Amino acid sequence: MTTCANLEKLSVKEAMKAEHIGKKVKLNGWVRTRRDSKAGFSFFELNDGSSMKSVQVLAPNDLSNYESELLHAGIGCSIEVEGEIVESPGKGQATEVKATCVNVLGGCDPASYPLQKKGTSFEFLRTIAHLRPRTNSFGAVARVRNEICKSIHNFFQERGFIYVHTPIITGSDCEGAGQMFKVTTLDLNKPPLKEGTKSGEINFEEDFFGKATNLTVSGQLSGECYATALTNIYTFGPTFRAENSNTSRHLAEFWMVEPEMSFCNLEGNMEVAEAFLKHIFRDVLNNCEDDMKFFAERIDKTVLDTLTHIVNSDFVRLSYTEAVDKLLKSGQKFEFPVEWGIDLQSEHERYLTEQVFKKPVIVYDYPRGIKAFYMKLNEDEKTVRAMDVLVPGVGEIIGGSQREERLEVLETRMKESGLNPEEYWWYLDLRRYGTVPHAGFGLGLERTVQFVTGMANIRDVIPFPRTPKSAEF
| Whole-angstrom distance, CA of residue 203 vs CA of residue 31 | 57
Residue 440 as a binder of ligand ATP (CB under 6 A): the answer is no
Residue 350 as a binder of ligand ATP (CB under 6 A): the answer is no
**DSSP assignment letter at 17:** S
- Total Cβ atoms within 10 A of residue 328: 13
Minimum separation from the CB atom of position 385 to ligand ATP (A):
14
Q: Which stretch binds ligand ATP (CB under 6 A): 23-31, 40-48, 324-332, 440-448?
A: 440-448
Q: What is the DSSP string of 147-200?
A: HHHHHHHHHHHHTTPEE----SEESS-TTSS----EE--S-TTS--B-TT-TT-
Residue 52 as a binder of ligand ATP (CB under 6 A): the answer is no
| Whole-angstrom distance, CA of residue 248 vs CA of residue 252 | 12
Minimum separation from the CB atom of position 392 to ligand ATP (A):
14
Minimum separation from the CB atom of position 98 to ligand ATP (A):
48
| Whole-angstrom distance, CA of residue 281 vs CA of residue 311 | 7
Question: Kind and range of the H or E element at 79?
Answer: strand 78-87
Q: Which stretch binds ligand ATP (CB under 6 A): 18-26, 47-55, 251-259, 272-280?
A: 251-259
Residue of 75, 55, 62 lying closest to 2 (CA atoms): 62
Q: Which residue in the set 399, 437, 440, 465 belongs to the binding site for ligand ATP (CB under 6 A)?
A: 399
Minimum separation from the CB atom of position 40 to ligand ATP (A):
54
Coil, strand or helix: which one is 324?
helix
Q: Which stretch binds ligand ATP (CB under 6 A): 24-32, 151-159, 246-254, 264-272?
A: 246-254
Residue 398 as a binder of ligand ATP (CB under 6 A): the answer is yes
Coil, strand or helix: which one is 467?
strand
Number of residues that bind ligand ATP (CB under 6 A): 14
Minimum separation from the CB atom of position 148 to ligand ATP (A):
13
Residue of 87, 84, 109 lying closest to 98 (CA atoms): 84
Within residues 90-119, the interface with ligand ATP by CB under 6 A covers: none
Nearer to ligand ATP, 106 or 468 (CB): 468
Minimum separation from the CB atom of position 399 to ligand ATP (A):
2
Nearer to ligand ATP, 26 or 241 (CB): 241
Q: Which residue in the set 385, 403, 447, 459 belongs to the binding site for ligand ATP (CB under 6 A)?
A: 447
Q: Which residue in the set 126, 241, 326, 368 belongs to the binding site for ligand ATP (CB under 6 A)?
A: 241
Strand order in the sheet with 169-170: 169-170, 213-215, 182-183
Q: Which stretch binds ligand ATP (CB under 6 A): 82-90, 158-166, 248-256, 278-286?
A: 248-256
Detail the DSSP E strand segments found in 271-412. Answer: 316-319, 361-367, 383-391, 395-402
Residue 250 as a binder of ligand ATP (CB under 6 A): the answer is yes
Within residues 368-397, the interface with ligand ATP by CB under 6 A covers: 396-397
Q: What is the DSSP string of 400-448?
A: EEEB---HHHHHHHHHHTT--GGGGHHHHHHHHSS---EEEEEEEHHHH
Within residues 132-191, the interface with ligand ATP by CB under 6 A covers: none
Nearer to ligand ATP, 29 or 442 (CB): 442
* Residue ranges in contact with ligand ATP by CB under 6 A: 241, 243, 250-251, 254, 256, 396-399, 442, 444, 446-447
